[in-house]
Protein backbone atom coordinates (compact mmCIF):
# COMPACT_ATOMS: atom_id res chain seq x y z
CA UNK A 1 0.00 0.00 0.00
CA UNK A 2 1.18 3.49 -0.83
CA UNK A 3 0.46 5.30 2.42
CA UNK A 4 -0.66 8.92 2.25
CA UNK A 5 0.58 11.04 5.13
CA UNK A 6 -1.61 14.08 5.87
CA UNK A 7 -0.03 17.40 6.77
CA UNK A 8 0.50 18.06 10.45
CA UNK A 9 -1.84 20.34 12.39
CA UNK A 10 -0.65 23.92 12.84
CA UNK A 11 -1.98 26.83 14.86
CA UNK A 12 -4.33 28.87 12.69
CA UNK A 13 -5.56 25.81 10.75
CA UNK A 14 -9.28 25.22 10.31
CA UNK A 15 -10.91 22.23 11.98
CA UNK A 16 -14.25 21.00 10.66
CA UNK A 17 -16.52 19.25 13.15
CA UNK A 18 -18.87 16.73 11.57
CA UNK A 19 -21.29 14.06 12.89
CA UNK A 20 -21.19 10.85 10.86
CA UNK A 21 -22.71 8.42 13.37
CA UNK A 22 -25.24 9.05 16.14
CA UNK A 23 -27.15 12.28 16.59
CA UNK A 24 -25.49 14.95 18.71
CA UNK A 25 -27.01 14.76 22.19
CA UNK A 26 -25.59 17.99 23.57
CA UNK A 27 -25.53 21.21 21.56
CA UNK A 28 -23.79 22.79 24.54
CA UNK A 29 -20.90 20.33 24.31
CA UNK A 30 -20.40 20.93 20.59
CA UNK A 31 -20.34 24.69 21.07
CA UNK A 32 -17.97 24.23 24.01
CA UNK A 33 -15.66 22.09 21.83
CA UNK A 34 -15.74 24.80 19.16
CA UNK A 35 -14.74 27.39 21.73
CA UNK A 36 -12.02 25.08 23.10
CA UNK A 37 -10.27 24.83 19.74
CA UNK A 38 -10.72 28.52 19.02
CA UNK A 39 -9.04 29.30 22.33
CA UNK A 40 -6.16 27.05 21.21
CA UNK A 41 -5.65 29.21 18.13
CA UNK A 42 -7.64 27.27 15.52
CA UNK A 43 -10.54 28.24 13.31
CA UNK A 44 -13.59 25.96 13.56
CA UNK A 45 -16.33 25.16 11.07
CA UNK A 46 -19.45 23.21 12.02
CA UNK A 47 -21.10 21.07 9.35
CA UNK A 48 -24.60 21.92 8.14
CA UNK A 49 -25.93 18.70 9.66
CA UNK A 50 -24.24 19.19 13.04
CA UNK A 51 -27.51 19.20 14.98
CA UNK A 52 -29.64 17.15 12.56
CA UNK A 53 -31.63 14.28 14.04
CA UNK A 54 -33.07 11.35 12.11
CA UNK A 55 -34.20 8.71 14.58
CA UNK A 56 -30.95 7.91 16.45
CA UNK A 57 -28.78 9.21 13.59
CA UNK A 58 -27.18 12.58 12.87
CA UNK A 59 -29.51 13.28 9.97
CA UNK A 60 -29.85 11.31 6.74
CA UNK A 61 -27.07 9.22 5.27
CA UNK A 62 -27.12 11.35 2.12
CA UNK A 63 -26.59 14.59 4.03
CA UNK A 64 -23.79 13.08 6.11
CA UNK A 65 -21.94 11.97 2.99
CA UNK A 66 -22.56 15.31 1.31
CA UNK A 67 -20.98 17.11 4.28
CA UNK A 68 -18.09 14.63 4.44
CA UNK A 69 -17.33 15.19 0.75
CA UNK A 70 -17.66 18.94 1.19
CA UNK A 71 -15.20 18.99 4.09
CA UNK A 72 -12.62 16.88 2.27
CA UNK A 73 -12.94 18.98 -0.90
CA UNK A 74 -12.60 22.29 0.98
CA UNK A 75 -8.90 23.31 0.86
CA UNK A 76 -9.41 25.69 3.78
CA UNK A 77 -10.19 22.78 6.15
CA UNK A 78 -7.05 21.05 7.45
CA UNK A 79 -8.66 18.57 9.82
CA UNK A 80 -12.02 16.81 10.13
CA UNK A 81 -12.98 15.90 13.70
CA UNK A 82 -15.97 13.65 14.22
CA UNK A 83 -18.61 14.99 16.60
CA UNK A 84 -19.25 11.62 18.27
CA UNK A 85 -19.49 7.86 17.78
CA UNK A 86 -22.56 5.78 18.50
CA UNK A 87 -23.91 4.11 15.38
CA UNK A 88 -24.37 4.97 11.74
CA UNK A 89 -20.99 5.09 10.01
CA UNK A 90 -21.38 1.67 8.38
CA UNK A 91 -24.49 2.96 6.57
CA UNK A 92 -22.31 5.41 4.62
CA UNK A 93 -19.63 3.11 3.24
CA UNK A 94 -21.25 2.39 -0.14
CA UNK A 95 -21.93 6.09 -0.74
CA UNK A 96 -18.48 7.58 -0.17
CA UNK A 97 -16.28 8.85 -3.00
CA UNK A 98 -12.94 7.46 -1.85
CA UNK A 99 -11.12 9.01 -4.82
CA UNK A 100 -12.17 12.44 -3.60
CA UNK A 101 -10.68 11.62 -0.19
CA UNK A 102 -7.50 10.23 -1.76
CA UNK A 103 -7.04 13.36 -3.85
CA UNK A 104 -7.68 15.72 -0.93
CA UNK A 105 -5.79 14.18 2.00
CA UNK A 106 -6.12 15.77 5.43
CA UNK A 107 -6.36 14.76 9.06
CA UNK A 108 -9.50 12.74 9.82
CA UNK A 109 -10.10 11.85 13.48
CA UNK A 110 -12.59 9.99 15.64
CA UNK A 111 -13.05 6.65 17.38
CA UNK A 112 -15.49 3.86 18.21
CA UNK A 113 -18.14 3.73 15.44
CA UNK A 114 -15.90 5.93 13.30
CA UNK A 115 -13.48 3.00 12.92
CA UNK A 116 -15.74 1.67 10.12
CA UNK A 117 -14.87 4.77 8.09
CA UNK A 118 -11.21 4.63 9.09
CA UNK A 119 -10.91 1.00 8.00
CA UNK A 120 -12.39 1.73 4.59
CA UNK A 121 -10.42 4.93 4.08
CA UNK A 122 -7.28 2.94 4.87
CA UNK A 123 -8.30 0.15 2.49
CA UNK A 124 -9.35 2.32 -0.45
CA UNK A 125 -7.04 5.32 -0.21
CA UNK A 126 -4.03 4.55 2.00
CA UNK A 127 -4.65 7.79 3.90
CA UNK A 128 -3.45 7.65 7.50
CA UNK A 129 -6.28 8.72 9.84
CA UNK A 130 -6.40 9.02 13.63
CA UNK A 131 -8.18 7.01 16.32
CA UNK A 132 -8.76 9.98 18.59
CA UNK A 133 -11.04 11.82 21.04
CA UNK A 134 -14.20 13.37 19.60
CA UNK A 135 -15.83 16.76 19.93
CA UNK A 136 -18.93 16.07 22.03
CA UNK A 137 -17.69 13.61 24.65
CA UNK A 138 -14.06 14.68 24.98
CA UNK A 139 -13.32 18.26 23.96
CA UNK A 140 -16.83 19.48 24.72
CA UNK A 141 -17.07 18.41 28.35
CA UNK A 142 -16.75 20.94 31.16
CA UNK A 143 -13.37 19.57 32.25
CA UNK A 144 -11.54 17.72 29.52
CA UNK A 145 -8.74 15.21 30.07
CA UNK A 146 -5.26 16.75 30.10
CA UNK A 147 -3.86 13.31 29.23
CA UNK A 148 -6.05 13.06 26.13
CA UNK A 149 -5.30 16.64 25.18
CA UNK A 150 -1.53 16.10 25.40
CA UNK A 151 -1.63 12.90 23.35
CA UNK A 152 -3.94 14.49 20.76
CA UNK A 153 -1.75 17.48 20.01
CA UNK A 154 1.50 15.54 20.36
CA UNK A 155 0.32 13.00 17.78
CA UNK A 156 -1.12 15.51 15.33
CA UNK A 157 1.88 17.86 15.33
CA UNK A 158 4.67 15.26 15.34
CA UNK A 159 6.40 14.62 12.01
CA UNK A 160 8.86 12.08 13.42
CA UNK A 161 8.23 8.62 14.84
CA UNK A 162 5.99 8.06 17.86
CA UNK A 163 6.07 5.53 20.69
CA UNK A 164 3.24 4.19 22.84
CA UNK A 165 3.56 2.08 25.97
CA UNK A 166 0.70 0.37 27.79
CA UNK A 167 -0.42 1.19 31.31
CA UNK A 168 1.89 -0.94 33.48
CA UNK A 169 -0.94 -1.66 35.92
CA UNK A 170 -3.14 -3.11 33.20
CA UNK A 171 -0.62 -4.48 30.73
CA UNK A 172 -0.41 -8.19 30.10
CA UNK A 173 1.54 -10.23 27.57
CA UNK A 174 -0.73 -12.97 26.21
CA UNK A 175 1.86 -14.18 23.72
CA UNK A 176 5.45 -13.00 23.34
CA UNK A 177 7.13 -11.79 20.21
CA UNK A 178 7.80 -8.97 17.77
CA UNK A 179 5.75 -7.87 14.81
CA UNK A 180 5.55 -5.24 12.08
CA UNK A 181 2.72 -3.93 9.97
CA UNK A 182 0.26 -1.12 9.63
CA UNK A 183 -1.86 -0.23 12.66
CA UNK A 184 -5.41 -1.29 11.85
CA UNK A 185 -8.58 -2.15 13.77
CA UNK A 186 -10.69 -0.11 16.17
CA UNK A 187 -13.87 -0.82 18.05
CA UNK A 188 -14.23 -4.60 17.87
CA UNK A 189 -18.00 -4.73 17.38
CA UNK A 190 -17.80 -2.09 14.66
CA UNK A 191 -15.03 -3.90 12.79
CA UNK A 192 -16.93 -7.20 12.94
CA UNK A 193 -20.06 -5.48 11.60
CA UNK A 194 -18.16 -4.98 8.34
CA UNK A 195 -17.78 -8.69 7.66
CA UNK A 196 -19.02 -9.35 4.14
CA UNK A 197 -17.33 -6.22 2.79
CA UNK A 198 -13.86 -5.97 1.29
CA UNK A 199 -12.34 -4.23 4.31
CA UNK A 200 -9.27 -6.20 5.44
CA UNK A 201 -5.86 -4.74 4.50
CA UNK A 202 -3.88 -6.42 1.75
CA UNK A 203 -0.66 -6.14 3.76
CA UNK A 204 0.53 -7.21 7.19
CA UNK A 205 -1.19 -5.39 10.04
CA UNK A 206 -1.07 -5.10 13.81
CA UNK A 207 -4.68 -5.37 14.92
CA UNK A 208 -5.84 -3.09 17.73
CA UNK A 209 -9.16 -3.52 19.49
CA UNK A 210 -11.25 -2.05 22.28
CA UNK A 211 -14.92 -2.21 23.22
CA UNK A 212 -17.56 -1.36 25.78
CA UNK A 213 -20.18 -3.49 27.51
CA UNK A 214 -19.53 -6.68 25.56
CA UNK A 215 -19.48 -9.91 27.57
CA UNK A 216 -16.54 -12.27 27.17
CA UNK A 217 -18.51 -14.75 25.08
CA UNK A 218 -19.32 -11.94 22.64
CA UNK A 219 -15.66 -10.91 22.44
CA UNK A 220 -14.88 -14.59 21.83
CA UNK A 221 -17.49 -14.76 19.07
CA UNK A 222 -16.24 -11.59 17.37
CA UNK A 223 -12.57 -12.59 17.49
CA UNK A 224 -13.48 -16.06 16.21
CA UNK A 225 -15.45 -14.52 13.36
CA UNK A 226 -12.44 -12.44 12.30
CA UNK A 227 -9.97 -15.29 12.70
CA UNK A 228 -12.21 -17.48 10.53
CA UNK A 229 -11.44 -15.12 7.63
CA UNK A 230 -8.39 -16.41 5.77
CA UNK A 231 -7.17 -12.95 4.76
CA UNK A 232 -7.40 -11.71 8.34
CA UNK A 233 -5.40 -14.71 9.63
CA UNK A 234 -2.77 -14.48 6.90
CA UNK A 235 -2.12 -10.75 7.24
CA UNK A 236 -2.39 -10.53 11.03
CA UNK A 237 1.03 -9.72 12.49
CA UNK A 238 0.14 -9.05 16.13
CA UNK A 239 -2.59 -7.74 18.43
CA UNK A 240 -2.70 -4.85 20.89
CA UNK A 241 -5.65 -4.47 23.22
CA UNK A 242 -7.19 -1.39 24.72
CA UNK A 243 -9.92 -1.31 27.35
CA UNK A 244 -12.85 -3.72 27.37
CA UNK A 245 -15.07 -2.15 30.00
CA UNK A 246 -18.08 -4.16 31.14
CA UNK A 247 -16.58 -7.39 29.86
CA UNK A 248 -17.70 -9.28 32.94
CA UNK A 249 -15.46 -12.19 33.87
CA UNK A 250 -11.87 -10.92 33.51
CA UNK A 251 -10.48 -14.43 34.14
CA UNK A 252 -12.35 -15.74 31.11
CA UNK A 253 -11.17 -12.73 29.08
CA UNK A 254 -7.54 -13.49 29.93
CA UNK A 255 -8.01 -17.19 29.18
CA UNK A 256 -9.52 -16.29 25.80
CA UNK A 257 -6.52 -14.21 24.69
CA UNK A 258 -3.98 -16.69 26.03
CA UNK A 259 -5.82 -19.25 23.91
CA UNK A 260 -5.83 -16.96 20.86
CA UNK A 261 -2.10 -16.33 21.31
CA UNK A 262 -1.35 -20.05 21.27
CA UNK A 263 -3.53 -20.47 18.21
CA UNK A 264 -2.08 -17.67 16.08
CA UNK A 265 1.50 -17.72 17.49
CA UNK A 266 1.67 -13.92 17.18
CA UNK A 267 2.42 -11.32 19.90
CA UNK A 268 -0.53 -10.05 21.93
CA UNK A 269 -0.12 -7.17 24.38
CA UNK A 270 -2.82 -5.38 26.40
CA UNK A 271 -3.06 -2.21 28.47
CA UNK A 272 -3.06 0.54 25.84
CA UNK A 273 -5.27 3.57 26.45
CA UNK A 274 -7.45 2.84 23.45
CA UNK A 275 -10.68 3.29 25.24
CA UNK A 276 -14.09 4.80 25.86
CA UNK A 277 -12.70 6.14 29.14
CA UNK A 278 -11.78 9.76 29.77
CA UNK A 279 -8.02 9.35 29.24
CA UNK A 280 -7.24 8.13 25.73
CA UNK A 281 -4.34 8.21 23.32
CA UNK A 282 -4.52 9.45 19.75
CA UNK A 283 -3.31 6.63 17.50
CA UNK A 284 -2.29 7.01 13.83
CA UNK A 285 -4.53 4.59 11.95
CA UNK A 286 -2.88 2.86 8.98
CA UNK A 287 0.67 3.96 9.82
CA UNK A 288 3.60 1.55 9.71
CA UNK A 289 4.47 0.24 13.17
CA UNK A 290 6.63 -2.17 15.13
CA UNK A 291 5.57 -4.02 18.28
CA UNK A 292 7.75 -5.77 20.85
CA UNK A 293 6.43 -7.53 23.94
CA UNK A 294 9.97 -7.50 25.36
CA UNK A 295 10.12 -3.69 25.57
CA UNK A 296 6.31 -3.33 25.65
CA UNK A 297 6.65 -0.52 23.13
CA UNK A 298 4.61 0.15 20.00
CA UNK A 299 6.70 2.31 17.66
CA UNK A 300 4.87 4.24 14.94
CA UNK A 301 7.00 5.25 11.98
CA UNK A 302 6.71 8.67 10.28
CA UNK A 303 3.01 9.32 9.61
CA UNK A 304 2.67 13.10 9.05
CA UNK A 305 4.12 15.59 6.59
CA UNK A 306 5.34 19.08 7.49
Name the residues annotated as catalytic: 112, 210, 276
Angle at 212 between CA 59 and CA 274, to 5 degrees: 95
Are the C-beta atoms of 36 and 29 separated by less than 8 Å?
A: no
Are the C-beta atoms of 187 and 218 separated by less than 8 Å?
A: no
- Of the candidates 192, 301, 188, the residue with the CA atom closest to the CA atom of residue 240: 188
Sign, CA torsion 101/103/104/105: positive
End-to-end CA distance of the chain: 21
Are the C-beta atoms of 225 and 192 separated by less than 8 Å?
A: yes
Distance, CA of 241 to CA of 256 (rounded, Å): 13
State whether residue 13 is helix, strand or coil: coil
Are the C-beta atoms of 210 and 131 separated by less than 8 Å?
A: no
Amino acid sequence: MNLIKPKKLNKGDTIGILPLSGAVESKTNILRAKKYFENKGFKVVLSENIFDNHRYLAGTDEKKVEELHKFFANPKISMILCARGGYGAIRLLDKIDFNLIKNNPKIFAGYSDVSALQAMICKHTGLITFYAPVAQGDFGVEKNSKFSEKSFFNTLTNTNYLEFSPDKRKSKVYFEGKSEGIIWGGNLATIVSMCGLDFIPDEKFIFFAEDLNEEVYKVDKMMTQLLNIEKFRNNLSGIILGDFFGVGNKKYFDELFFEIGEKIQKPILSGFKLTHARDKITMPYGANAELSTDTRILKIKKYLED
